[in-house]
Structure 1
Amino acid sequence: MRAADMAEDFPVVPVDSDALAAVRMLAVRRLPGLVVIDADGIPCSVLPATEVVQFLVPQYVRDDPSLAGVLDEPMADRMAGKLSGHTVADLLPEEPAELPTVDADDTVVEVAAKMARLRCPLVAVLSGTTLVGVVSASRLLELALGQR
């Protein structure tokens, strides 16, 4: 099976789109991440949901997780407000990671290897620079287990 056969339609967001709207989409659809596209519609990044959580949790809590137990609920409510006025670009890591893409002709093993190496829950499937779809880790596992 080739990557194009495994690929599914998946939400994409422009890099300059509203961060709160993108995170709402992640939450409502319970997605592991989103494919981020540039102004030309070409994938430029993947925004894993874990990266959003990283953005929302204050640095001092990440540095000392014991502080999380003493913060009150209003503090948790204010975390969502932290997205206001930000774009998807603001949520991406400062150091750009290798773009998790595979070629439409790549095999299941090639897709799995890329996903595992980059520790990314999704890979964008490209035919040239055209986005064919996305393979998620859950889709990959479903196909791998279904073939046995």
Structure 2
Amino acid sequence: MRARDLVSGFPTVTADTPVIDAARLLAEQDLPGLIVVDGGRPSSILPGTQVLRLAVPGYCIDDPALARVVDEAHADVFLQSLAGRTVREALPANPRELPVADPDATVLELAALMARTHSPLVAIVEDDRLLGAVTLQALLDRLVAP
């Protein structure tokens, strides 16, 4: 089995997309992450966890016990802190290897790339054209199918 057998169309954003729009897209389509494009080519992968990292107050990340003392009314609206911010701000300062593969990549190559890059998806590119992505869910569904 090859990447071409698992690839599906996948939404993209740019670095200038409002991050709250990216969060809505993640939620509405139940996605593990988004492909960030520059000039139509993948430039980064934005895992949903990076969106949360931007929204969660730093003191709660540094000391999880502090998150417990925030009252429920305030804890339920922490995503409002994303207003006016862009996807660029949610991307890691030191980018990792870009998880991109060609359509002929095997499932083992895709799995190794996901594991190495800590990415829940791999962008599939052929001739400088984004074909879509293979998600961790699609890969695991195919690997554990009877």
When the two structures are superposed, what TM-score results if normalisation uses the length of structure 2?
0.94
List aligned pairs for 1:1-148, cutoff 5 A: 1-38=1-38, 40-146=39-145, 148=146
Q: Supply the AA of the counterpart residue of 1:10.
A: F
Greater alpha carbon shift after TM alignment, 78-87 vs 122-131: 78-87
Runs of 4+ aligned structure 1 residues displaced above 3 Å come to none
> Mind listing any 5+ residue stretches in structure 2 that lack a counterpart?
none
Q: Aligned pairs, how many?
A: 146
Say which SS state the counterpart of residue 82 (structure 1) adopts.
helix
Give 1:33 shift.
0.5
Say which SS state the counterpart of residue 52 (structure 1) adopts.
helix
Distance in structure 2 (CA, Å) of the matches to 1:95 and 1:79: 25
- Is the 2:123–2:130 contact (alpha carbons within 8 Å) kept by the matching residues of 1? yes
Instruction: Give the aligned CA root-mean-square deviation in angstroms.
Output: 1.2
- Is the 2:19–2:51 contact (alpha carbons within 8 Å) kept by the matching residues of 1? no
- Is the 1:4–1:133 contact (alpha carbons within 8 Å) kept by the matching residues of 2? no
> Mind listing any 5+ residue stretches in structure 1 that lack a counterpart?
none
Say which SS state the counterpart of residue 4 (structure 1) adopts.
helix
Give 1:128 shift.
2.7
Give 1:77 shift.
4.0
Distance in structure 1 (CA, Å) of the matches to 2:54 and 2:74: 15
Q: Supply the AA of the counterpart residue of 1:12.
A: T
Distance in structure 1 (CA, Å) of the matches to 2:74 and 2:55: 11
- Is the 2:56–2:79 contact (alpha carbons within 8 Å) kept by the matching residues of 1? no
- Is the 1:101–1:124 contact (alpha carbons within 8 Å) kept by the matching residues of 2? yes
Say which SS state the counterpart of residue 31 (structure 1) adopts.
coil
Distance in structure 2 (CA, Å) of the matches to 1:79 and 1:97: 27
Greater alpha carbon shift after TM alignment, 134-143 vs 16-25: 16-25
Give 1:75 shift.
2.4
Distance in structure 2 (CA, Å) of the matches to 1:34 and 1:21: 11
